[in-house]
A and B are shown apart, each in its own frame.
Chain A
Amino acid sequence: MAKLKRVSAVLFVLMIAPAALGAPEEGGTQAHAELLARPETAVPAAIAAIVMFFLLFFLLKKMAWGAILKGLNDRETKIRTEIESAENARALATKALEDYQKELAKARADSNAMIQQARADAQRVADELRARNEAELAGMKNRAKDEIEAAKRAALTELYNETAMLSTQIAGQILHREIRPADHARLVEESLSQIGSLSRNGD
C-alpha cells in the first residue's frame, strides 16, 4: 500500500511537471475534425486493417486458436468423464456397502440361528443324558431291590430250613424217638409250607 502511494505520488509529479515547467504560448488549440478521415490516410489504413486482420486470423488459427479449442474441448471432456466416473464409483461403492451390510445382517442372523440350534442341541443332549441316567439309576435300584429281595428270600428259606430242622430235632428229642428220614423230610416239608404261607400272609 505504501509502495502504491509512493508510485502514484511520483506519477502525479511527473504528470503535473509539464504544467509547472511552463507552456509555450504558441500552438494550435483548434481541432481539425476534417483530419479524422482524410482519404489519403483512411484508404490505406482501411486496406491495411483488412489485410492485417485476415493475415492475423489465418496465422493465429494455425498457431493458437486450434490448440486453444482443442485444449478447451479436452478439458471439457476430461471433466465430464471424471465426473461420470466419480459418480459411477460412488454408485458402485454405495451398492457394495449395501451388499456388505446385507451380508453382515445375514451372517448375524445365521450365527444367531446357529447359537440357538447349538443351545437346543445341548439342551436335548443334556435331557437325554439325564433321562438315560435316571433310567439307569432306576434300573440299578430295581436290580438292587430284586437282589435284596432274592437275598432276603434266600435267607428266609435258609432260616426256615434251619428252623424246620431244629424244630424237628427238638420235636424228635421231645418225642425221644428217632424220626425216620422219610418222616423227617415230610415234617420239614410241612412246616416249610406252613411257614411259607405264614410268611406270605405276614408280608
Chain B
Amino acid sequence: MTGVRTLVLAGGDPLHHNYDYPILSLPNGYAILTNHIVMMLVAALLMLWVMPRAARAIATGKTGTSHDYVTKGTLSHLIEVICVFFREEVARPALGRNTDRFMPFIWTVFFFILFNNLLGMVPLLDATSLVLDGVINKPHAAAPHVEGSGAAAGFAGSHGAEGHEASSLAAGDSHDSHVMKLGPFTLFQDLTKEGTASHFHGVGGTATGNIAVTFALALIAIMIIIGSGLQSLGLRGFVDHLTLGTKFPLSVLMVVLEIIGLIAKPFALMVRLFANMTAGHVMLASILGFCSMAWNGVGPLGGVIISVPAIIFATLIGLLELLVAFIQAFVFTFLTAMFISLFQHHDHEHEHEDDHSHNEAPVQGELAGAH
C-alpha cells in the first residue's frame, strides 16, 4: 500500500518528478550523488553500450566484400539514419567542409540529450520509489505524523549494524527529522519535509529537466562555439566578426550587442530544454493528480470517474512528450550547430551557390517548358 500511496502522491506535488534529490551528501550539505547524476550516468552507460555496437554494424572494411556496406540490425539502422540526418541535413549546409570535424560533438550532444529525455519518460522514479519505500521505509514510518526517529528506526531495522550507526547519528540530529546519516554523509533527504511517502524517494526523472544540467549543456555548447570560432577566425578575426564589419563608433555598440547575443544564445538553449522537459512532467503530474484529488474530494466513485479521462489524456500527453523528447534534443543540437557555423570561416559559400544553381535549374526548365 505504501508503494501505491507513493504512486498516487507522485501526482500530489506536480513538481515531484522534477526535483533533483540528493542521494549522498557531504557534511556541508552539498551532494556528491543526486538523482539526476544517476540518471545521466545511466544515459552515459547506455550510450557507451549502444553506440559502439551500432558503430560496429555501420563500420566498413570487415570482410572486404560488398556486404560490408550493409548495416545490419534495427537499432544500428536507427542510429545510422539519425547520424546521417545530422551530418547531411543539419551540419553540412551550415558547416560545409568542416562538417566531419564537428560531427562527434554534434552527435554526442544529440544522443546525450535524447537518451536523458527518453530515460525521463520511463517512470523509474515511481518504480524505484515503490521498492525503496517498501524496503527502507516501513509503512508505519510513512504515517503522517511520524517522528524522525521512527523513520530512522525503520532504516536501521533493515540495514543492520551500518543502519544502527545511522540511527544513532540521526537520533543525535533529531532537530531535523528528515535526514538520514551514513557515517559523515547524508543518505537521501526529504526535500519537501512533509514526512510522506516521498521521504525515501527513488531514483529516476529527467536529468534534462534540471536547469543545472541544461545550464551545463549550454555552457559546453557556448564553450565549443567560442572555442571553434577562435580556432577558425583567430582572436583578431573573432573580434572583427563581432563588429559585423562596422567602423569605430558603431563597432563598439555592435561588439556589446554581439556579446549580449553570445550570452543570450546559450541562455535560450538552457531555458528551452529545461522548460520543455519540465513542463511535460508537470502537466502529466497535474493531470494524474486529478485522480487522487477526486478520490479525496468526492470519494471512490468520483475518483474512478475522474481517473478514466485523466488517464486517457495523460497517455496522449505522454505520447506528445515522446515527440517533444526528440524535438528538443534536435533543436538543441541544431541551434548549437548553427551557432558554431556563425563563427566559422565561410569558405564554403561557393558550394552553396552550386547547390542553388543545381536546385534552380529544373525549375527554370519547367518554366521554359510551361511557356
By a beta-carbon cutoff of 8 Å, the part of chain A in contact with chain B is: 12, 15-33, 35-50, 52-57, 59-61, 63-75, 78
Contacts and interface: CB of A to CB of B under 8 A. Distances in A.
Contact of B7 (A18, A22, A42, A52): A18
A33 B15 contact: yes
Contact of A40 (B25, B84, B198): B25
Given A30-B13, A65-B55, A18 B300 contact: no
A65 B217 CA distance: 20
B29 to A, nearest CB: 5
B308 interface: yes
B343 interface: no
A53 B220 contact: yes
B222 to A, nearest CB: 12
B20 A41 contact: yes
Query: Of residues A25, A32, A44, which shows the largest number of chain B Cβ atoms within 10 Å of its Cβ?
Result: A44
Contact of B40 (A21, A49, A72): A49
Given A27-B196, A32-B19, A45-B36, A64 B52 contact: yes
Contacts of B254: none
B61 A74 contact: yes
Contacts of B12: 27-29
A76 to B, nearest CB: 9
B80 interface: yes
Contacts, number: 228
Interface stretch (B97-105, B236-244, B329-337): B97-105
Given A16-B304, A72-B84, 20 more contacts: A15-B314, A19-B8, A19-B292, A19-B295, A35-B192, A42-B210, A44-B31, A45-B20, A45-B36, A45-B37, A45-B213, A48-B37, A49-B217, A53-B112, A56-B108, A59-B48, A60-B52, A60-B108, A67-B59, A78-B69
B58 A71 contact: yes
Interface string B76-105: 000110011001000000000000100111
A22 B302 CA distance: 11
B151 interface: no
14 contacts: A15-B314, A18-B7, A22-B295, A24-B9, A35-B19, A36-B278, A44-B31, A45-B37, A49-B217, A50-B220, A60-B104, A71-B80, A74-B60, A78-B69
A-side interface mostly: helix
B194 to A, nearest CB: 4
Given A48-B40, A60-B104, A36 B52 contact: no
B47 interface: yes
A34 to B, nearest CB: 10
A65 to B, nearest CB: 4
Contact of B112 (A23, A38, A56): A56
A44 B196 contact: no
A67 B37 contact: no
A78 B61 CA distance: 12
A40 B29 contact: yes
A37 B212 contact: yes
Contacts of B21: 41
Contacts of B22: 40-41
B115 to A, nearest CB: 10
Given A16-B308, A63-B55, A55 B291 contact: no
A61 B104 contact: yes
Closest 10 CB pairs of A and B: A42-B212, A49-B216, A23-B292, A64-B55, A64-B51, A26-B144, A19-B291, A65-B104, A67-B59, A74-B60
Nearest to A11: B315
Contacts of B198: 28
Nearest to B83: A68
Nearest to B211: A37
B137 interface: no
B213 A41 contact: no
